[in-house]
Structure 1
Amino acid sequence: MTTVPTPSIKAQSFTHQWVAFAIMVLVLAIAPIWVYPIFLMKVMCFALFACAFNLLIGFGGLLSFGHAMFLGTAGYAAAHAAKVWGWNPELAVLFATGCSALLALVTGMLAIRRQGIYFAMITLAFSQMVYFFYLQTPFTGGEDGIQSVPRGMLFGLFDLNDNTAMYMFVLAIFLAGFALIWRIIYSPFGQILKAIRENQDRAISLGYDTDMFKLIAFVISGALAGTAGATKSLVFQLASLTDVHWSMSGEVVLMTLLGGLGTLFGPVLGAAVIVSMQNYLAQFGAWVTIIQGVIFVVCVLAFRRGIIGEIANWIKKPL
């Protein structure tokens, strides 16, 4: 006879995740004392981007090679809204997130008609189309991008030109996005996504509209990636083609695999590692890419589940 876990037992099974979350919040809260805040804000922006991507591939089984288009679209939208229209930062971020969600809806309705490598190639094709559109469109500034983006006043009260205020704003956005993804993963919707990932035919036989669930996951992932892009454009006061380039889509794949595909905290650690390498190994110039490749190969061979994935397997608890 199968017994249903009581709420207390179920809550105890996730205690380790709450502990990990508390440690992460504590580290991010006190890290600016020793680490440059701009660097930490960059890490959090890319961590949210990687978490959004992981929601799609790690729990939905959909490999996108074009996720940079959501990051870059939101970056341009937020920069334009803040600089040209004079919107407050919170409105600019919301508007940019909505733009990425709309783009994800349009592209997703076509992309989810295919699976596997075909889905990946379609998203890559859309991403390249978006890249060349932003390259030619006047409002994006072409190769120069949108520069000197004003950070503005948050809610008309907090001046985000102060790095401390900006850091708290980015931290709040990252934690909110991370908590939303956490909630989605362990919701009935998240369980259906996992079922579709494991066996789509069986999920269809159970009566689930798999295309609808995949589309919703694609839109949520695109919207959260857009939130990361909008926040990043305000942090660096710049929106450029770098965030729309196909190489950015490759970097987020690297972050996710390095940290741990299908884990909750893996993309966060993966983003921190990759951004740290780019920052502290910048003196090696173009060799940074080669060093990244070597480290990635070593990690794939030694830690097939990713860093957090191996830790989770060792303690026999999901992270």
Structure 2
Amino acid sequence: MSELLPAGIDSFLGNAGWGGAAIDPIPGDASFRRYFRVAVEDRQAMLMFAPPPEEDPAPFIHVARWLRDNAMRAPEIYAQDAAQGWVLIEDFGDERMRDWLDANPQGETGAYTDAVDALARLHTKPAGPFAPYDMEVYAREAALLTEWYCPAMHIEADAGSYLSAWSETLAPLVAKPSSQVTVLRDYHAENIMLLGPDAAGRGAQGLIDFQDALVGHPAYDLVSLLQDARRDVSPDLERRMLDHYLAQADADDDFLANYARLGAQRNAKIVGIFARLWKRDGKPRYLSYIPRVWEALERDLRHPALAPVAAWFDTNIPRQVRDSFGGQIA
């Protein structure tokens, strides 16, 4: 198996005090990152390989340390060589929330309640030292739909009016930055590990895949959790979890409107990303998620706050495509 391992892995582990460790590759995700479980004697850890120039592990290290300093359950960093792409981290095991729910569907309400509570705790912390989730970022992400999905569907969409509609829709949210928090940006059932509390009292929800954290609106990560691209979350559960969050959060009167705004923005982005993963990166398995994402997008578009964007979709995306929740990409 050694010929399948990245060059430099033995040297890094040796310098980190893990020389001679058994190395077990773990199936990858949608990025260029690779993961390995390593074990030596009675110690076990997770090794991330995020090689430049495609990846940069420095943001992961930065966010992980901030989260741990603020009593959130991010993995401890044991050793790192960011310039070469290596990070040795605490092993959170295999108990992902998604997998646990597949085996224990009766525990859905409890698991989502705990996940919402973890977000609520995060939102009591001052926003971290991260870049802002501003209009430029929102627009760039939303544009992925017209850049990748529409061409794949042979739709000649008006990209200029699309971005204008988003600017009008998101302007009220961007104009009120008082409720800014750390936004993990990919907080969902596949990125939550179910653990016991650690000795320092950090919570039982292990956080992973947070390297793209920004400072933005607290509704964003709720959308990520409750409008999950990879797992069905019923509208009833979504509503109950929103109510649970609002019962303990200092939310303003516009929170639900902003939840819909960010839901539509995120779902439009994801449709574009999944189309790009297929077209550019040769990963067609993500196409099967698009109908679920499109269905959530349609629900968000029904909110009055989305009127400009909803009008654009009515004009530019044929109804027969939308009625089939995005259609079959060809």
Question: Which TM-score bucket, shorter chain as reference?
Answer: under 0.3
Q: Which has the higher helix share?
A: 1
Name the larger-Rg structure: 2
TM-score by length of structure 1 reads: 0.25
Q: Which has the higher strand share?
A: 2
